[in-house]
Chains A and B, each alone.
Chain A
Amino acid sequence: MAVFQLPEWAALAPALILAGTALVLFLFDSINPRSTNRPLLAGTAVAGSLASLAVAVWFTAAGVGATGIENYGVVDVMNGQFIVDRLALYFMIIISIVTALVAVASYDYLRDHTYQAEYYSLVVLAATGMSMIAASNSLVTIFIALELTSLPSYALVAILKDNRGSVEAGLKYFLIGALSSAIFVYGISLVYGATGSLQLEAIAANLGAAGEMGGLLGLGILMLVGGVAFKTASVPFHFWAPEAYEGAPAPISAFLSSASKAAGFVLAFRVFTTAFPLEATTAVIGVDWTVAFVILAIVTMTLGNFAAATQENVKRMLAYSSIGHAGYVLIGLAALSTEAGDLVMGAAMMHLLVYGFMNTGAFLFVALAEYWGVGPTFADYNGLSKQAPFASAAMAVFMFSLAGVPPFGGFWSKYLLYTETVNAAADNTVLLVLAAALVVNSALSLYYYSRLVKALWIEEPILDRDRLTQPTGLYAAIIAAAVMTVVILPAFDPIATAALEAAAAVVG
């Protein structure tokens, strides 16, 4: 037994540590507003995110959030407004890993940048918001955390003030973000109108009381789906992603496409399972909401992959590929109508973690290329392996892993997602279409991923380059992400267990 009982809010430590780090960075900024002490600023951000990661891993290992353990178990904070369970901790781990990688890489990327402290504090602040989303258990706290994530993200996309593309991307991202926030909050109001509650368990308990307001509730749920689609860059609110990722500094693209997407998914996983249990909700609104996700998943993955195949710009290709991957993860929600739904959702979560390494790594390689002054198109990347074999090898690992080719981590999670979907299809044959779409899209995606490998390794450079420097921070982040992408395959057991427990925390 514990010698000394921590207060309940201490369970939110992974998020609180990030918040504290952001404040410390603000403090540095107010003491020395034009500080270019890069080691100190980047070091603080990295230390903060690693501390957050360590605490989240420690909590998971110690059994915090696990069901059936006394003293620890699932921790309710503020009367169920926040909840720390396996799901929350799992996503806090993903978010802090991505934040750490991005902060390490930014050390070199921002070498000539004026607003160093602002940048890092905004990154950590957005990460705080994402961690809070993972633990939020009420539509109010979810909305607040969502805004805490979004506002710094808008600023980060536009932080290259002198770069027209960056500012334009920031504005587009902001406008679409504001619209989707409005839709989301309107959805919340409709749900509140129908059920009279905002706390997720209370909504579920009051679903029966909605009575003839089922249509209203259904509309509210649809609007919440819209909000999720924006955050995860899924159809129909996906079109901001290519613009924002292309214009933003590449480490921020990595951050948004990996961590922000994961945050959007944890929101969806929690809200739709806890607040709108399938049978009770279907009884009230008359429609099975998983159908919406079946359609969204197929459309999102197909659209993302086809659009990615036609791109000439590497960053845009990665942006569309990130939309495609959102489609794969949506299968986790689409399969909830079946008995094996928790396994499919667990596999989707595993994919998000692997994605956190391989996609972040891929965008960080683009950051490295931008650092070297390499142009944006495939042709500009031609022959980079001659000057930078290690970074190019890492990028090949990311590309093959994203395509789901063994022996990399991306194969593991796609394999499990596929087999579990086929398994679940025994109850609902529609899922067989999803499984087929997953395989066909994966096979197709190999085309454009291998195109980048071909550019790096096989094509001859179109112009002579000088020797390329080897920035320590970017290299460290890329190599670390590549090593993890490879090591995850043999060491998948703990991750699979954590993800399955996370799914079990919300799917009965």
Chain B
Amino acid sequence: MDRRDFMKMTGGTILAVSSGTYAFQFLVASGRSVSGDNIAAGTVRWGMVIDLNKCIEGCTACLDACRTENNVAFHGDNRWDVHWIRKVKAEQKIGTESKEKSILLLCNHCDKPPCAQVCPVQATYKRNDGIVIVDHHRCIGCRYCMIACPYNARYFNMKDSEHWQNEERPKRSHGVAEACTLCAHRLDTGRQPACVEACNNTGAGVLFVGNLNDSDSEVSQLIADRPTKRLREELGTEPKVHYIGL
């Protein structure tokens, strides 16, 4: 076999394999959507209401509960720490005086999630009950979702976490992105998320999670009765975390 034959054969093989692969991928891709399709659409749509007026200064019950429940990595370095939910102090200027308040920030579980749109492997996707979730078995760690998220709500496992507080629940290896899952494992089995439970245990009652599609649910009532605001509504991402007193 001379070189010409060799080149011909190599070229032919590459052509056949690549075209076959792409044809297959397009067939597969056309049959799928970014969101899951096994939960009946329209019945449940989880959402959250945060009543910031009741939030106690210096209380970290929800943050700690989230950390222990989901084994969220903590390294003591603000470059690598992962926060599914975090508390910031923000200053707002009203007239001449400035008012400071604590605000809870977490994944907004957008109805039109930019992170799910850009994920090249559909690892980040929106379940049909509205929860935006990362399939850590699939994530390749390209961090494009972190670029796309306008809320800085997504974090990357820069480093393996040493702590394993809750052995019932998995932790994440380094090299995958993650964000709040709204404790999907708890909601699926009819329990409230860890942060809501912890908040209710302190008696503050800041956090509410419920079905936005059900007009009788607590969250729907709160949204109907009280003035609520969502973060960066002008972006059109339709976040499902509503704030009272922002």
Partners in one complex: no
